[in-house]
Chain A
Amino acid sequence: MRVPLPSDDWIADPRRGGLALLALVLVVLPIFLPNRFYYDVAIHAGLAAIAVVGLNLLIGYAGQISLGHAGFFGLGAYGSAVLTGTHGWPPLLALLASALVVAVLAFLVGRPILRLRGHYLAMATLGMGLLIFMVITNERTVTGGPDGMAVPALDIFGFSLSGRNKQAWYALVALCLLLAVWLALNLIDSPVGRALRALHGSEVAARVGGVDVAEYKLIIFVISAVYASVAGSLSAHYGGFITPDAVGFLHSIELVTMVVLGGMASTYGAVVGAAVLVALPQFLTAFHDYEQVMLGAILIVCMIFLRRGLLPSAIDLIRARRP
């Protein structure tokens, strides 16, 4: 006989149970990480997850596609690299300044771009991403061009965190990820979130219901850009070196694939999608050449057979099993 959990509602509430579960997983995970290589994979997955949680707000909740989010990721990364490396700013200040610049840029670009829908929005964001990529690749004197540039270690209030210190980085990324998820969940449950879901369902109905559609889309576009920028800044410090690959079209598609794979409109799904897609190529190195093939196949297969993504489908399966 199954005793009903007294705290069923508490567990089901993503903002309390879900967050506690994620925290638990993040605390327990290091026990199962046998060496530095596994730590490295986990850290990369966590960094990607931060960007994907943000992108999921835009794609999953607001229903707006962006094929240029690596552009924001790259601006954050290069912003931190240039400000700390070339100009000697403190890394934390550089991270915040880059995020601010990205927010302003997303605001200015988003206003006209988000008036577009569907194919037009997809192409416009794709073009925007390519444009950022072009600038970063061509302005060699600032960014080092296609060869990339070195990034100093992250340094928080006097503690220097080099990328070699895996445990410390793991803790930092885990904390940032928790914070990112918590903020996203709160946003989804706020009036902004409700408005977003309304406009995902039907823009016309949302507008009739008094939702300022353009305004909310813009807010979420800016927020998701800032998520990507912060993830980019952290990645740059962790890796210690960045190249324009981080800004490229393929990276944008990777981010979208993570959203789609994990499950659109599922914040924890975004984390799962990021973890799976980062870990998979690391453990299937024999298939290295097939990485793009795999990305493409995942996108197509998910959209045809698993439209809700891994996590929501898995949860449905578990729920259906329970009497």
Chain B
Amino acid sequence: MSEFLQFLFSGLTVGAVYAMVALGFTIIYNASEVINFAQGEFVMIGGMSSVFLLSAGVPLPLAMLAAVVIAVGIGLALHALAIEPARGASVVTLIIITIGASILLRGLAQVVFDRQFHSLPAFSGDVPITIAGAALLPQTLWVLGGALVIVLALGWFFTRTLTGKAVMATAHNRLAAQLVGVNVRFVLMLSFGLSAGIGAIAGVLVTPITLTSYDVGTMLALKGFAAAILGGLGSAAGAVLGGLLVGIAEAMGAGYVSSEYKDAIAFVIILLVLFFLPRGLLGGKAAERV
């Protein structure tokens, strides 16, 4: 039982990160129908920037804040320099562009930072809390709490503010939104900035537990995408649910089956969902099939 609980804790922790990546996918996809393959890089940038700012002598809270600001800046630049100029391009073209952005950011991180694994100090110590024989790291609570705050804040933003409603309107029907006076360009920009910020926060929160390096982004993107389609692409609640489920499935698979192949689980989930449950659990837009 304590073993199961232990796997559940670690599954929830990584699951919360996948959920935040999946939320990033969802926000950009809803606003622009672009799947941003560079989504995982924002998590990497958040983690790596705060590590290097910290080692440059910046206090931790300030370093984390700066890391998120840097990621948001890169997200906005990605939109302005790579997505906006290719407006109206085919899906394959946009995929190649965001893949290009992902490789570019990886390459830059490798040059600006380095190729080592890095960690951050845990925010409130490393003394585990014992629950029914399973150890729970305090940092796990930070990750889960951070994810919860983000979900609540996004819920409030999308349903209670005018800007948020403009984003929702654009997601439903871009032309109609434009006709009633929504600045669609601004909405697109906002969604890139927002999802970069969320990714970076996830990176900052989870780095003390899982470490980070310049190349963690690709795998995170794949798993975040698995989470997004498991929940139903386009559904924010689905992204969160999908993220947690992928995280738990992975932790259980690593614990009970094979830790060497734990990364394969997300891929298997992608295939199973696409073949048997194309709308995902919470019924997003159906996966395009021939």
Contact = CB atoms under 8 A, between A and B. Distances in A.
Nearest to A307: B93
Contacts of A220: none
Nearest to A112: B275
B103 to A, nearest CB: 4
A122 B37 contact: yes
Given A122-B99, A300-B100, 6 more contacts: A116-B290, A117-B91, A126-B218, A127-B222, A134-B263, A293-B107
B179 interface: no
B95 interface: yes
B104 to A, nearest CB: 3
Given A117-B290, A124-B274, A203-B290, A304 B97 contact: yes
Interface stretch (A5-13, A186-194, A284-292): A284-292
Contacts of A249: 218
B46 to A, nearest CB: 19
A253 interface: yes
B225 A123 contact: yes
A26 interface: no
Given A116-B287, A304-B86, A293 B111 contact: yes
B102 interface: yes
Contacts of A293: 103-104, 107-108, 111
B286 to A, nearest CB: 11
Given A292-B104, A295-B103, A131 B288 contact: no
Nearest to A65: B92
Nearest to B78: A300
Contact of A304 (B82, B111, B270): B82
B105 interface: yes
B289 interface: yes
Contacts of B92: 59, 63, 65, 118
Contact of B107 (A112, A257, A291): A291
A304 B95 CA distance: 12
Contacts of B229: 120
Nearest to A207: B290
B106 interface: yes
A256 B37 CA distance: 15
A127 B82 contact: no
Contact of A260 (B96, B264, B271): B96
Contacts of A203: 290
Contact of A118 (B86, B95, B97): B95
Interface in A294-314: 294-300, 303-304, 307
Interface string B261-272: 101101100110
A213 interface: yes
Given A118-B92, A124-B270, A292 B107 contact: yes
B264 A296 contact: no
17 contacts: A63-B92, A67-B99, A115-B289, A117-B289, A118-B35, A120-B274, A122-B37, A124-B274, A128-B267, A249-B218, A293-B107, A295-B100, A295-B103, A296-B101, A300-B82, A303-B86, A303-B97
Interface string B235-260: 00000000000000000000000001
B159 interface: no
A253 B85 contact: no
B102 A120 contact: no
What are the 6 closest A-B residue pairs judged by CB atoms, nearest first? A296-B104, A299-B100, A292-B107, A127-B267, A293-B107, A296-B103
Nearest to A126: B222
Contacts of B222: 123, 126-127, 130
B91 A119 contact: yes
Nearest to A113: B271
A127 B289 CA distance: 18
Which of B81, B86, B92 is packed against the most chain A CB atoms within 10 Å? B92
A304 B91 CA distance: 13
A214 interface: yes
B97 A300 contact: yes
Contacts of B89: 303, 307
Given A116-B288, A289-B111, A303-B86, A297 B271 contact: no
B110 interface: yes
A138 interface: yes
A290 B107 contact: yes
Which of B95, B111, B229 is packed against the most chain A CB atoms within 10 Å? B95
A303 B266 contact: no
Contact of B105 (A59, A138, A296): A296
Given A131-B267, A134-B261, A256-B96, A116 B218 contact: no
Given A130-B222, A297-B104, A298-B100, A117 B288 contact: yes
Nearest to A295: B103
A64 to B, nearest CB: 8
A300 B105 CA distance: 12
Contacts of A127: 222, 266-267, 270-271
Contact of B110 (A67, A289, A299): A289
B234 to A, nearest CB: 12
